[in-house]
Amino acid sequence: MSGGVDSSVTAHLLKEQGFDIFGVLMDLWRPSGQNNQFSKFQTAKIDAQKVADEIGIPLEILDFKDVFKEKVVENFISTYQSGQTPNPCVICNKKIKFGLLLDYALAKGADYLATGHYTIINKTENIFSLHKGNDPLKDQSYFLSQLNQTQLSKIFFPLGTYSKDQIRKIAKSIGLHVAEKAESQDICFIDDNNYRGFLKQYSKHVIPPGNIVNLKRDVLGKHNGLFNYTIGQRRGLGVSYSEPLYVIDINLGRNELVVGTQLERNRSELIAEQVNFIDGVFPEKLVDIETKVRYSAKATLADLTKIGDDKYHVHFHSAIKDITPGQSVVFYTGNQLLGGGTIH
């Protein structure tokens, strides 16, 4: 339970179905120097406890700050330092929510862990599969591509068949005080989505200024540290040119920010590492697979060829823009999530 409407209605629905449930709130992060009285966690704690009281269930608070810092925050920082753009939500789902938290729940005697993700789990002949949620605006399957059969056998996603509007209506109908609570769109441990400020505050390694170059390595200007930029970025480059320029590569070895035109943003292939398939089967080749390289991106057809134990070459049928190392590439067939990996 996060103190938001989704997890709150999840708890209500399960109790209505007759499950014996208890809520857990994870204490994951406290910004340095922040007054705990006004922290995000303190607000979540107040709301989650009030919802638990309204529904009539116990609430436990789990201190996972040290593990979260080690597994998620430090990975976030080191990935940026390596010139890539991380996806901390995917790491958190794999190692914290459906790793550490799931283990805790099972050790406490629970049969299942339920969360408010808008995703659907199906089971056919003892094989679990993940599918997009019915609400296309809220589907969160992209962030769950690293889950496995063992985890899915112990997880419930009760909201997968609902829309967000329906969930708010349920919350309002039963008098939950969080029915109209705004949902956070930011990375949970970064205030106001200011990741540059976060990196400056917490990173021990400072990347110095360097050159902004084009594909011919002509120097067009100066950057103020590579972690301040991400693939596809257009604003804030400080470079004058005859047409709009975008970040198309981050060369850590040369400390160069590579920019290009709209056409030069396009790529037709990538290498995916740390690939996971939900069913546990790693095929040698897959063709005509719907593939997403960002949560908000449209799926593009691609062919996958296995080139290592958990490494695949992904060739797109048509070129796409802003393939970003460090981000997740995720594979679908129809509404079913096959799996995914990290863009190299």
Residues labelled catalytic: 92, 188
- Output the six-digit token pair for 99: 């790793």
Q: Report the C-alpha gap between 142 and 37 in whole angstroms.
A: 34
Residue whose tokens read 């990975």: 75
Q: Are 101 and 113 in contact (CB under 8 A)?
A: yes
| Cα dihedral 312, 315, 321, 325 in deg (nearest 10) | 10
Residue whose tokens read 């035109």: 261
Q: Report the C-alpha gap between 250 and 255 in whole angstroms.
A: 8
Q: Are 132 and 337 in contact (CB under 8 A)?
A: yes
Classify residue 242 as exposed, middle or buried by CB count within 10 Å of its CB (0-12, 13-18, 19+). Answer: exposed
Q: Name the residue among 241, 240, 257 with its Cα closest to residue 249.
A: 257
* Number of other CB atoms surrounding residue 174 within 10 Å: 14
Q: Are 320 and 327 in contact (CB under 8 A)?
A: no
Q: Could you give the 3-state DSSP secondary structure of residue 124?
A: strand
Classify residue 105 as exposed, middle or buried by CB count within 10 Å of its CB (0-12, 13-18, 19+). Answer: buried
| Cα dihedral 13, 14, 17, 19 in deg (nearest 10) | -160
Residue whose tokens read 């629905």: 13
